[in-house]
Amino acid sequence: MTRRAPDLRIKRAYDPPDKDDGARVLVDRLWPRGLRKEKAALTLWLKEIAPSPELRTWFGHDPARWTEFSRRYRAELAHNDEAVVRLADLSRRGPLTLLYAAHDAEHNDAVVLAAYLRDHLKDGHDQPAA
């Protein structure tokens, strides 16, 4: 039996929480500058799901590196079973909002992560692809 696709949302950490956000998970390795923890209204800060420091530094939010960044980050996610399973568990309970701090809404780690989770969880897979 095929499960429905998870209800995943992506939102900037600085945007106000909404009652429809469900579980709010910060997926950046670094805490967003100037954001108070109370305002973030987090369910979880899952630093270990974020791109490695080396990959994050290499990418530098340069859209010209987006395709390669996405490929490399997906490869990291494929070897990050524990963190992916934590998000899978949260997604089964209801809406899951992935929070990021970057200014660019199209080129950030949460975009890649959401696509990765949709690919690997829509058919009931709880483990990342090898």
- Tell me the whole-structure pTM to 2 decimals: 0.89
What distances in angstroms separate CA 41 from CA 11, 14, 57, 104, 123, one per listed residue? 13, 10, 27, 22, 30
pLDDT by residue, tens only, the chain of 130 residues: 445 667 999 999 999 999 999 999 999 999 999 999 989 999 999 999 999 999 999 999 999 999 999 999 999 999 999 999 999 999 999 999 999 999 999 999 999 999 999 998 775 555 444 3
- Domain spans, the chain: 8-121
Long-range contacts of 56-62 (CB under 8 A, 24+ apart): 56/29, 56/109, 61/102, 61/103, 61/104, 61/107, 61/108
